[in-house]
Amino acid sequence: MSSIRRAVAADLPRIAALARWVWLDTYASHGVTAAFAAYVEDAFRPETLARALAQDPMWVIEGPPDVVPPKPGARTDVKPNPRSRDDDIKAAGLPAAQALAPAPDLPLQAWAALDSHTEPGRVELTRLYVAPTCQGLGFGAALLRHARQAHSTRSLWLSAWEGNARALTFYRREGATQLGETWFELDGRRHRNEVLGWPPLETTT
């Protein structure tokens, strides 16, 4: 069974490879331009990801390679890995590096990253990437819930390209509402993104 855990530095080369795969699968439907190649090389180099990981936790899902797609309407359970919880690590008396060690023999299937420092009261889900061969298995929903629970008293938002109909449908199915729009610029071209969000899971008094 696949499981969620916090990412560690040793995961970053696999995260980089997964991110490039998903990004190009989404945006490079007509081929890979020089601008696309330069963007994924820079945005997803392990050194760039390491700076983001130093600021906020990331989560990954990994599991057996023989994942079987569910029947229509079915949801695949993703088991939270207790190694991803700091309290469990302390209770077990394990050093963090050992408790959070990746399993390189298991395929990395999905990844989520947050930015919780830019705006007070709001957290941005900067990346939610699921391997194309693992989409529709419930991994995206599991990571989305995990991200919201990690900052349960703050609202969550993200931006998604208007041409990514599958992602927009998924986010709305998970309860997102449209908050506005933003633009992503690459190689002199502007691409409209929808800004979507969710309210806090908990309210503070």
The pLDDT, as a whole number, for residue 102 is 64
Residue corresponding to tokens 């963007």: 39
Q: What is the mean pLDDT of each run of 10 residues along the chain (205 residues)?
A: 90 96 92 92 94 94 68 49 38 33 79 91 95 93 93 95 94 96 87 94 71
77 contacts 1 by C-beta, under 8 angstroms = yes
> Strand runs (DSSP E) across 95-188, as ranges?
108-115, 122-130, 155-161, 177-186
Q: Does domain 3-198 have CATH number 3.30.70.2740?
A: no
pLDDT at position 188 is 81
pTM for the predicted model, two decimal places: 0.81
Task: For tokens 């609202």, name the residue.
Answer: 155
Q: Where are the domains of the chain?
A: 3-198
- Other Cβ atoms within 10 Å of 130 Cβ, number: 24
> Given this model, what pLDDT does residue 72 score?
39
Determine the Cα–Cα distance for residues 176 and 102; give it in Å rounded to an integer.
31
What pLDDT was estimated at residue 186? 85
